[in-house]
Structure 1
Amino acid sequence: MMGLAAIRWLLGKRAFTYKLSLQVKLVLSFVFVIFIPVVLFSWYTLNEESAKAMKELTKNNENVLAFEKINIENNVELMGWTGQLALSNREMNNYLQIEQTQDAAYVLHIKKDVVNNFQYFLFNNPRIANVRLFTDNQYVNEIWPVILQESRIQDKPWHDEVLKQSGLPRWEIQETVALTGVPSEPSSNEPFMTYLQEFKYADNKEHNGILEISMKLSDFFSRTFSSVQDTNSQLAVVDRSRQVFSLKTSPVFEQHSAEQLINRLELTSDTDYETVQFKVNGYSYLAFQSYIPSIDVHLINIVSLADTMKGINHSRIRYIVLISLLAAFLVLLSYSMQAIILRRLKALRESMQQIRRGNFNVELPPVTGTDEVGELGFHYRMLILKINELIQEQAARQAAGKEAELRALKNQIDSHFLFNTLENVKMLAEIEEQYLISDIMTSLGGMMRYSMEWKQDHVMLSDELQQVQNYVSIMNIRYDGRLDLRLSIAPECLKQESLKMSLQPAVENAIKHGMSRMHSSDGKLVIMISAFRRAEACVIEITDSGCGIPEEKLDLLNIMLRMDESAYRDARQLFVQNDKQDSNGIGLRNVDQRLVMSYGVEYGIQIESQEGSYTRIIMTLPHQLMGGE
């Protein structure tokens, strides 16, 4: 099976290449040798440049994310340190733990000497927006903006969540930290990052209050809200409720808002960097994200790939234009160079065409030069001269041969002597009542007379059928009468003109392969020869009841009937390697070639078969009767 497939592939390639002119083949080979490596190199270079650009883009934006994380860690540490400092002030702690109402002088003392110093010390870092202590001690007087009653924040959504932390800090992003009724509260509408912590004193294990430290979001995430950064990337912060905080005026969000882009991402819980590339309405983006568990937010760097992809596309177009120009230049150069070479070959071809038409007196073309084409022209000249010499010698030989033939005929044994001898043997067999031998002699004599008296190549179909009947009669001696020849000939086909000895090879083939793999129950091989007229053709079918031919092998046999001689030799070698039996159809191929030479390519032999059932040789001839009818 693999061998047959290889043969078909080989034949298909040959058929395609044979149709191309030599100049086209040379141009294609020249282009393939140079153009394809250039295309592959350009494709590799473009991919390398694209990969390098993406790698550099990734590295730069990961660095941006890393710097922002360092800045966040510093701010977390600063606010934590501020919280520890606020809760460790002894005089402030004593004031928050009073158990009775204090006079105004004491409260003023706390305001002047404790709270003011407390504020000055804590606010020495300008990034801290405010520090507030919310207490539930009803004896403590509020000293704005530091000491306030806890009742002011009990309606905040985060109040109960802070109490559930059991003293651990909780981070919240608030749209505003202003409290109702507090005149000194900041009026900024900018969001704040808030550090919240429940505090308890050592001698009082119950709840005392909540510490709040606030920092503007633009200070806490300084790089995220900075207006001085790459126009193709923008940092964004996503809190635990998936609310997005970022610089809304960033060029990255011109086509799609930050919320639209963030919603296309699946937020990671990994503290390392995770890179995701995605598209929104045809626009490409690259997202670098990292989770910061200490403040429970996701930090995401969104990068627009529009400029990067534009640069890659420009490089791709540039390479395509250069390759196209190079291809055009190579084709023109190859065509020009080969036109010079092929001009001389064209002159040789035209001369050969005239010689093929029988004009051996053609004027030889002036093909000069010392290269291969010039050498070919020289040898071609010598070949024509040699052919003319051989023609003259052959004419002389034919004349001498005729004379020798006449002399030889005088010394030949008369063919009638041989036929008379066979007739005498036949008569002796009949006298001895050896009728089988008599029949064999009759059939053998008929075959010999038919084959030896070759006066013309064309005979009537009835003569060919008689030859086949004699042949089958003789072969039945070998096969003990197991050959059953049946004829079904239309009357108008009996005088059909056919090539002499064209039916016997098909019958031989049927007997040889049919009897070698007999499958019928009675051991007989039925050979049916039928002839009928179809339009302007006469169709002769030789069908045997043998084992048939596999489909793959049948297709190959039909192809081998008409392939050229060199391809036929190659196919025949592969055929013999796959099928050890001598079943390469040489006899049928010879008959087909004789039919094509006599009547044209539309006539000849076709093989049909069904494995395990039958094999049929279909011979198509032009319908013409002997004698000019």
Structure 2
Amino acid sequence: MKWTKPFLAISIRSKIIILCIISSLVPLVLIASFTFIYLSKAIEHKFSDTTTNLLSSINWNIQTFVNDVEGISKLMLSSRDVQSFLTYNKDNSKEIYRLQTVTRDFAINMTNNKSYIRYLYVGSPQRELIVTNQWDALTNDNIYGAVTHSQWYSQVDDIQGRGIWLNSDEFHILKTPDLLLYGKRLNNLDTLEPIGLMIISIDRRVFDDMFRDINKPANGNLLILEQGRVIYYNAQTGTQNPLNEQDLKAISALPDKGTQIQTIDGEQYVITFDTNASTKWKVVSMIPYNSINSEIAFIRNLTIGLTLVAFLLAAGGAFLISDRITKQLTLLTSVAWKAARREEIEGIHFKEKDEIGRIGNQFIRIFRNNSELTDKLMEAKLKEKEAELIALQSHINPHFLYNTLNSVYMMAEKIGAKNISKMVMSLSNIFKLSLNNGEYITTVGNEIEQVKNYLEIQNIRYYGKFDVEIDLEPGIEKVSMLKLLIQPLVENAIYHGIELKEDKGSIFIRGRMNESELLFEVEDDGVGFDPTIARPRGYALKNIQERIQLHYGQEYGIYVDSSPGVGTKVKLVIGIMK
């Protein structure tokens, strides 16, 4: 491709640097992108989950508080003294005073145990009682009459004895406005007819105490809305009502539960909200979107910074690696040029910390070994030429000796020296078979014939000191084998076995053949030796063993078995030549 030509034309060092940078930059960019997206989503989910858990905790606290207030109302309703105080209609001031005192004590006990109660009011058409935790003037002498003529009372009356949380903006029992009111109609325990009214006013401190141990959202607002009115806020805005009317209506119109992003007073907020099932109060968390975005921006900047650092480290590593690789390659190129010109490679050594260094040193070793082998080959060729010259010069000597021995044999026959003629003839035959026309391969028949000639000479020398028995498998004579393998074994049998024996001895020579092997045995009944003390020695046996293994393989060779006073048996195993 055309666009690859400029890349292929640059140096290896530049290619390595470019490839390293690209191979590191692409994964880094992908990893950084996915990491940023993942962490951004994780931060958003963390804020959402944290806020949702916060609102659930607040909702649970509100429900606990509501259950507590309802429990107080049930205690007031179930009190016979309170029932009697509200319904007693006789003109007995002493009894009325007693009932009022008992009711007041009971109410005081309720309010003292619950610090968040501003006041507790019970009233009926006959009489009424209010107990306050905070000293404040009443707004009306006939509280019951004022309450029963309000729309607020009609809501209490409509639900027939169940409690209701009410907005106190319509009227005030005390001059200080109430935060929250809990109202409930009191019914007769026996007839279930309405007998009066109970009102519990809640102080703001209930929410301060409720949220004291809850981790509020950082840089955010926490609101509680009741019927479109803010009944609690976390005071971080520094105003009584942190929302304008339009924003308050928008938040009040939100569903019962969820998370949305809205613009409040020109700033984006993440709004998470939940509604209490009993009171219908809406708990709202407002976190500026910049708070979340600042963490995301920090993650983004951190990711970019780490990516740049990793890229710079990768680029630096690419430069170092390319320098190291190309330095070794340059040195290897220089060695290759010297090897091509057959120059001496001295003083060059590669650092074997990487593959190139190991290859370079191996190349130098191979080059030096090849140089040595070349020198030895040249030397061997010179010696071969010298050996050919010597063989040519001495070629006449064997024929001269052979002809001379024949002449001696003829002279011995003429004068009737039978032993001399036998020895000369046997020696002549040995000499002829040893020459074998210059070949190192002979037949089993020729090898045995040479052994017979040798034994005949030795028997004359030793005056018939031993007998010889040769047993060959029929047809084995024509099988090829290396020459001069059996004769040295027979010679050892004579010199190391029979010669040392006092009386006459015997030598047995056997030859067998199977599908893949030739097996020869040379056995004598000479003096023998102990294999555990002495080992068979001599150049002849070593030479035979090396020749056999060199030509036939390591699985073939000679095996010696001997016993003192019994004799020695040598087995010779070779392969069959094809």
TM class by shorter-chain length? 0.3 to 0.5
- TM-score, normalized by length of structure 1? 0.43
Look at both structures and tell me which one has the larger radius of gyration over its CA atoms: 2
- TM-score, normalized by length of structure 2? 0.47
